[in-house]
Amino acid sequence: MIGIIPAAFEFLPIAILLCIFFLMVLYLKYMNGQSLRSVGSDICLGALFIQATMLTLPVWSSGEMSINIPVHIVTLVLTLFLWVLTVWLLKRRKPSRKHSTNIIQNITYYFRKHSSTRESLSYTLGATGLTLSLMMMFNVVEFGRDDWKLLTTQFFLAVLTSAGVGYAGHGIYKYLQNEQFTHSFERFSNDITRDNVLLTVQSSGSQMHERDPVQPVVDIIRGSIMKDVLGPSMFGLSILKHKCIELLTASGMRKHNLVRVTLHFVSHIDDIGKLALRMDEDEAANETIETLGDIGKCAVTGGFDAPADDILRRIFEYYDVLNQKDFEIMKLTVTDAVSRIGIAAAAQSIDSTSSKAGNMLGIIGAAAIRSKEMETLNNSIHALYDIGREAAQHSVEGAVRKTALKLRDIGTSAVQNNLIEESIGIVSKLEEMGVIAASNKLELGTEQVIWSIKDIGLSYGYQREEPGLNVVVTALANVGMESSLRKLRDAVDQAMWALKEVARYPITEGLENSISISANAFARLSELERVKVDTMIKELEHYFGADETKRFKHFKNEYNSAAKVNR
């Protein structure tokens, strides 16, 4: 590119006019209380008018003015296309409700889900259309055989200017939109104070509705959803969330009042979410679930299990509805919300809440296997592991046992449905949970982890899945060794018994690689528990008849070799 500095100075008036037009349209719409969302489309429509006017000038000037008509027609058509595109981007669409492996469908889903991205692109395209028209009006574009470098420079400046003005304009739009919403909600949100909410929750009968400071905000949100206008509902939900969290964390109320206030907010938000689902407003319903998750996490962080339990119950009701409607993508929001509450509860040593979260995630995971919803399955597995790991680190034994049990159920079902990779991932997560539980001397939790790994291992044995068997015997050995180091005698016994039960399958089926890995697992344990391991191997020998003696002898030789190396 050559002459970029002269071209930039030549382009400067266009950039200034573009900014002025953009700001002027934004200001006029804002002052008249109109929607600012369509500014990009309106600017592009103005550009279309300018281009059409340019084409009529030679007619009105009686031939005294000449322009390159073919080029102007091409620009007019291009501007028309940009205007149609800006209108299409601003059209409300229901986001996709099911996952797809198709790249184009995933891109389409992204644009459907992220309305802010569509709006920003619409502003940029609107600025592009106006830039083209201004360039033609000021005769900045010069066409000729030797002008391709100059055209490249002008095209680069046009794209850069349009993107900058469009992005900045969208930022101003978001700011002004928030100002509009703030003015709409300000009077009502200011009434949501500690004293006014306390009067409401402590009242009864008809007085509750008359004094409820939350109700006007809820009414605006409900009206927005009924009218299919997304902005006010999202902004209003944000106000309710922040007001509730503010009262939870900084109001200084007594605990029983805080519980009642939180449940009051949750009840309103839940009603909004149910209305959104009935009206097929996916984004508002999704935001409601996320809001409930945030409030639930804040509640358990403050040590309030009653509101968190109520929120978990309400969120799981959404899952039941989503399951019936086959809304695959929104289930991920449910999984995430339950996970955040469960992890926070485990971190605060609230056993009941973290166990309930684990139970719900187990149900979601098991259902995901039946419906082949792989992303929901993987999310539920990771969420259960996160809760179990947090529970093990904070010595919440009940939650460790519950999550281990649910991971076992999902793992065995995954093996039966030939989801080997997912089940191996579950065994690895159980192994880590077991090591952490043993290191914190949670013997019952460690034993449940061992039993869970063993049950998945037996499923592998029935299916003759050698990679799975290898992972299981290694995991049992690692958990058993950690238990031995922490002097958890019962857990050590259970690990050896589980290892014996799983190791007989490779010997019976003659799986050479698994026989070697199983023998090595026993040999590693024998470093710390030699007497018990020798006893367990003798018991293992009783499983095999005379015709299988040769196979067991091969296993024992492998064990003796590995034991010599380890000792």
Look at the alpha carbons of 37, 41, 45, 46 in this order and tell me if their dihedral is positive or negative: positive
If asked whether residues 456 and 495 sit together in one domain, one would say yes
What torsion do the CA atoms of 373, 377, 378, 383 make, to the nearest 10 degrees?
140
pLDDT of residue 106: 56
Give tens-digit pLDDT for 492-532.
Answer: 999 999 999 999 899 888 888 888 999 999 999 988 888 88
In the chain, the number of structural domains is 3
The pLDDT > 90 percentage for the chain reads: 39
Decide if pLDDT at 551 tops 80: no
Which residue range forms the structural domain that includes residue 257? 191-299
What span, in angstroms and rounded, lies between the C-alpha atoms of 341 and 415? 29
Give tens-digit pLDDT for 360-393.
Answer: 999 999 999 988 888 889 999 999 999 999 999 9
pLDDT of residue 358: 95
Give tens-digit pLDDT for 135-153.
Answer: 777 765 555 545 666 667 7
Burial class (CB in 10 A: 0-12, 13-18, 19+), 187: exposed
- 341 close to 312: Cβ distance less than 8 angstroms: yes
If asked whether residues 143 and 236 sit together in one domain, one would say no
If asked whether residues 171 and 200 sit together in one domain, one would say no
- Out of 184, 214, 248, pick the residue that ends a domain: 184
- Out of 117, 149, 184, pick the residue that ends a domain: 184
If asked whether residues 216 and 162 sit together in one domain, one would say no
Residue 34 sits at φ, ψ, to 5 deg, of: -90, 165
Look at the alpha carbons of 406, 412, 417, 421 in this order and tell me if their dihedral is positive or negative: positive
If asked whether residues 12 and 154 sit together in one domain, one would say yes
If asked whether residues 287 and 174 sit together in one domain, one would say no
Q: Which residues contact 336 (CB under 8 A, 6 or more apart)?
A: 290, 293, 379, 383
If asked whether residues 246 and 282 sit together in one domain, one would say yes
If asked whether residues 36 and 110 sit together in one domain, one would say yes
Query: Which is more confident, 550 or 499?
Result: 499
Decide if pLDDT at 207 tops 70: no
Give tens-digit pLDDT for 52-88.
Answer: 887 777 666 555 556 667 777 888 888 888 888 888 8
If asked whether residues 533 and 458 sit together in one domain, one would say yes
Q: Which two tokens mark 246?
A: 């503010």
pLDDT band per the 50, 70, 90 thresholds, residue 565: low
Examine residue 247 and state whether it is found in any structural domain, yes or no. yes
Examine residue 81 and state whether it is found in any structural domain, yes or no. yes
Decide if pLDDT at 415 tops 80: yes
Strands (E), 393-516: none
Examine residue 25 and state whether it is found in any structural domain, yes or no. yes
pLDDT of residue 209: 46
- Out of 284, 299, 314, pick the residue that ends a domain: 299
